[in-house]
Amino acid sequence: MSEKLTAKEYAEKLLYTPEYAADKQADVKEKAAAFAEGYKKFMDSAKTEREAAVVSEQMLLAAGYKAFEPKKAYAPGEKVYFIQENKAVVAATIGQKPYEEGFRLVIAHIDCPRLDLRPNPLYESDHMSYFRTHYYGGVRKYQWATIPLAIHGVFTRADGSSVNFAIGEDENDPVFCITDLLPHLGAEQNERKLSEGIKGEELNVLIGSDTVEEEDVKEAVKLNTLILLNQKYGITERDFTRAEIEVVPAAKARDVGFDRSMIGAYGHDDRVCAYAELKAILDIEAAPEKTCVCILADKEETGSDGVSGMQSSAFECFMEELCDSQNVPLRRCFANSFCLSADVTAAFDPNFPEVSEKRNDAKLNYGMGICKFTGARGKSGTSDASAEVVAYLRKLFADNGVVWQMSELGKVDQGGGGTIAKYMANRNIDTIDAGVPVMSMHAPFEVVAKFDCFMTYLGVLAAYKA
């Protein structure tokens, strides 16, 4: 029966080569560009996890989501949400099927690498005032010097009231920075390893140089800075110990390239997936088949611990309370659930091909990157989705016009990493990682392709509607 094929025919039939996909679909490009406009706005108003939670809540409220009431039985199509400790977001759209048949979960994280202020940050040195910082997450420290920085955060006062603030984002605001040596005096510093180009203890943010008028005061610049802060926010030096203040790049999200095909911004990891997830759950029109849950977690960059991290029982507490209203054991619901862990993946960088595995790494404009497994050094700490789960997702994407690619994090033994996928998989939920490929991940200015952002949105939407 088998007919003899030519080599060319065999090649077409048998071989697989991932394809650059962005140029294949003309109207998708326009849709991707429109989607990117909304995303850039989101990014400019969500520079910290707290701000991302506030903006997400506004979007949810505008779409008719109501604050979750634990004992209440919800009907299909009802929309609920809750904010965990001001830093994480959970939203659910109730499905038609009973909870026993499982949820459709999509999880992302809204915390990003940055510089946090220490509890006693303010000091003066040689007539300049500074903030001392403790970096948060995987930061390449040298990247944070000599760029404009903004300061965002919250002070809680002795009376229990709190004040949120952000300085450095408005065009008329001042900005801040970490200084570096001039090349003329940098010879010795040049001999340092790149990881110590700027050391952790050198990440001190310059915040002032003016003094109070009376000359006889000790540390007059520091005092002057504090007087200004007191006038504006009513705080004293002591109040820094009751604060959470983050130093982030002051730049706004911008189109990148003459063709505007990419977006550069601080915090794509993982707000690019968080936004796609939020947009997708808001765009589910009728009551979905299964209950859709959107989780935007905090503390991924430091291991997902704590009350607002993915390991917190706050998230399953919410789902358990939902399940209780239908007398369904949470474990039963989890066993029948599916979770898409939407986190960014490292994109191949033609500038640094030596760390990549070109056959397996994600590329910009090749679509949403599915990551079957994570981990490092022999997949240690991996969450490895089964072949069946990959097959399920591939079919889902094929049925919904989602352009996707497989991805892995660079060469074996070059490095590695993990996501929050394992914390769901450990709860007996079938989970797989997929998300937007990013260049310069964790840098103050990361780059993604608009096409991939839009495909990730379509991918999440498909997962919700399945």
Q: Does 49 bind Mn ion (CB under 5 A)?
A: no
Interacting stretch for Mn ion, rule CB under 5 A, among 11-19, 154-162, 247-255, 266-274? 266-274
Scan residues 294-353 and list those touching Mn ion (CB under 5 A): 343
- Rounded to the nearest 10 degrees, the angle between the axes of helix 387-399 and helix 450-465 is 100
Minimum CB distance to Mn ion smaller for 138 or for 257: 138
Gyration radius from the chain CA atoms: 24
Minimum CB distance to Mn ion smaller for 251 or for 310: 310
The DSSP secondary structure of 392-414, one letter per residue, reads HHHHHHHHTT--EEE---SSTTT
- Site size toward Mn ion (CB under 5 A) is 3
Minimum CB distance to Mn ion smaller for 42 or for 74: 42
Minimum CB distance to Mn ion smaller for 343 or for 349: 343
CB of 138 to Mn ion, least distance (A): 6
Minimum CB distance to Mn ion smaller for 79 or for 141: 141
| Integer angstrom CA distances of residue 421 from 24, 138, 386 | 31, 18, 13
Query: What does the DSSP 8-state code read for residue 195?
Result: G
CB of 273 to Mn ion, least distance (A): 8
| Integer angstrom CA distances of residue 104 from 109, 220, 426 | 17, 58, 16
CB of 43 to Mn ion, least distance (A): 15
The amino acid present at 155, given as its one-letter code, is: F
Interacting stretch for Mn ion, rule CB under 5 A, among 161-169, 176-184, 261-269, 444-452? 261-269
Q: Which residues contact 335 (CB under 8 A, 6 or more apart)?
A: 102, 428, 429
Q: Which of 246, 269, 298, 384 binds Mn ion (CB under 5 A)?
A: 269
CB of 437 to Mn ion, least distance (A): 12
3-state SS of 82-97 is EEECCCEEEEEECCCC
Minimum CB distance to Mn ion smaller for 80 or for 449: 449
Q: Which of 49, 57, 246, 270 binds Mn ion (CB under 5 A)?
A: 270
Minimum CB distance to Mn ion smaller for 298 or for 343: 343
Q: Are 455 and 280 in contact (CB under 8 A)?
A: no
What are the structure tokens assigned to 459, written together?
């991918």
Per-residue mark of binding to Mn ion, 66-85 (x: CB under 5 A)? --------------------
Q: Which residues contact 242 (CB under 8 A, 6 or more apart)?
A: 155, 156, 157, 158
Residue ranges that bind Mn ion, judged by CB under 5 A: 269-270, 343
